[in-house]
Amino acid sequence: MKIFGIDLGTTYSCIAFVNEYGAAEVVPNAESQTTTPSVVAFEEGGTVSVGDAAKETLNTDPDNVCSTIKRQMGKRDFTFYAFDQEYTPEAISAIILKKIAKDAGEALGEEVKDVVITCPAYFGLEEREATKKAGIAAGLNVLAILNEPTAAAISYGIKTEEPQTVMVYDLGGGTFDVTIIKVENNSIRVVATGGDHMMGGKDWDEKISSYVIEQSCQANGESVDSVYADNELMGDLELKSEKAKKQLSQKDSVKVKFNGETVEISRSQFDQFTSDLLESTITKTHETMLEAEKKGVDHYDKILLVGGSTRMPQVDARLKQEFPNIPVEFCDPDQSVAKGAAMYGLNMAAFAEFSEKDNNGDGPTITKEEQEELRRNVFFGTGSQAKPITIKNVISQCIAVKLICEDNKEHIVNQIFKNTEIPCEHVLHAGTHMANQTTVAIEIFENASTDEYVDEDLCKALVDGELGPLPSGLPAGAPIDVVFKIDENGLLSIDAEHKPSGAVKHLEVNLQNALSQEELQEEIAKVNALHI
Ligand code: AMP
């Protein structure tokens, strides 16, 4: 019985499990690689390829290749269109998950079923729900959606004896995530998290592409616009730019052959024309440190580098320059997240409270006896010494409500701020606006702002409900309480109440962008009809 950790990355994905010696191990794909490009290529007749083969198709048939789908997770308005069929981000992600689960299953000779999938710490409720649904659509039993930096920290050293404050600087292919965590006594507590989900190695690739286009057009006189409009040329350049970037992590200069020209790029030129990207990660890092400082963090034991893009020498150098007193360490950049997720999954299975074989997605598909066996082997201590890891998380988005304020205007006012430790509860004591009001509208939003008053454009609507009927004849200002509760999985529940009359309303959080059960079934059917 194995539990798998899957790092479903923007550009690369990885799968791992804990072996019989208690060590987390990555399972290579059918092409013998430890990570698989998160790229899907559709072909005529319902065949899809995933990984390197799909990436190569960028050269020949770029319109039917889908990459960086993780950036679209939780968005309703995005669909990828190929051969008369539309695919949601969940379906595309499910195709990637199916490929890596199938390959791992074949390599190990057993089916991959129970999984923990990771996501960036700042993913909101809808992105997490979409990630879970992608797993379900791939036929997997998703035990948990775990934050990537927490997974990296588990893999790095839950066994550490000394309490430590660690900053995880995770620069992947398409996301940048900075998370400050405290590790002590088998417990991992996220103190603050921040980042930019539109920033990652891809942006460094694009800078190389722009440089190469500019230089080659200068040499051959072709118009820059006509190069950008040529999908095949651009697909070819995308591959070459990433390759050149990786080479620049080893060499002082590279040559890129493109459109009949050869463009040479030195590492110092590369560092120069990408410095704005690197600086923006430093700014985000400081913002997150400021949040942590408000919660009492005044020193750091370590900066852990996670994510393939931290292999660029500029990252390590810049962090050492910015934080000369904090040791900077590499944490198995490509594999630590999948490994940590597998370790977490095993721990969960060993200590989960469940009675019977449970296949409904809420518990591991194991028996009590298997659980006993796991507990004996669990690697955080043996036998009676084995202990569960405690994971304390924070919410990554603020929760706000629309109120009529003293200026008599409607404002969206944050109630629970991001980086608040969960589970948590907050009660808003409000009141009716006018006399004889028989209903009260309750609108709840999610946002990433740090301000108390937030612009509606920056918010995502979560709830559009109402409390009522209220008794007639109430004066203006009749007391209305709104109780916000967030559980340890980040799930929000809201109750509105007029205590004197006993009027209570439980408001369902409507994840407007989440697939309904019916829609999910449709996506499952689409994915199952493909030859992966
Ligand atoms: P991840 O999402 O953590 O797998 O990171 C993938 C990103 O790391 C991609 O943008 C890769 O191009 C980048 N990457 C992988 N290896 C290297 C390397 N040696 N030098 C620079 N970037 C790399």
Nearest to 208 by CA among 265, 279, 257: 265
- 8, 11, 250, 316, best to mutate for ligand 1 pocket (most atoms within 8 Å of CB): 11
pLDDT on residue 13? 97
To the nearest 10°, the Cα dihedral for 295, 182, 191, 329? 110
Residue 96 falls in which region: left (phi positive, over 0), alpha (psi -120 to 50) or beta? alpha
Which residues on neighbouring strands pair with residue 482, listed in sequence order? 428, 496
Tokens linked to 113: 């079923």
State how far the Cα of 231 lies from the Cα of 59, in Å rounded to an integer. 9
The response to whether residue 172 sits with its C-beta less than 6 Å from ligand 1 reads yes
pLDDT for 157-186, tens place per residue? 655 567 889 999 999 988 898 999 988 877
Helix 313-322, helix 275-294: angle, nearest 10? 40
Distance in Å, CA 482 to ligand 1 centroid: 45
State how far the Cα of 505 lies from the Cα of 498, in Å rounded to an integer. 9
Residue 526's alpha-carbon distances to 42, 86, 517, in angstroms, are 13, 9, 14
The response to whether residue 311 sits with its C-beta less than 6 Å from ligand 1 reads yes
Distance in Å, CA 334 to ligand 1 centroid: 8
pLDDT on residue 175? 86
Residue 507 near residue 401, CB atoms below 8 Å: no
Tokens 């991959």 map to which residue? 112
Q: pTM to 2 decimals? A: 0.84
Distance in Å, CA 238 to ligand 1 centroid: 14
pLDDT for 118-148, tens place per residue? 998 878 888 888 999 999 999 999 998 988 8
Distance in Å, CA 311 to ligand 1 centroid: 7
pLDDT for 66-103, tens place per residue? 999 999 998 888 999 999 999 999 999 999 999 999 99
CA atoms within 13 A on the CB side of 259: 26
The response to whether residue 238 sits with its C-beta less than 6 Å from ligand 1 reads no
Does 215 or 123 have the greater pLDDT score? 215
Distance in Å, CA 36 to ligand 1 centroid: 12
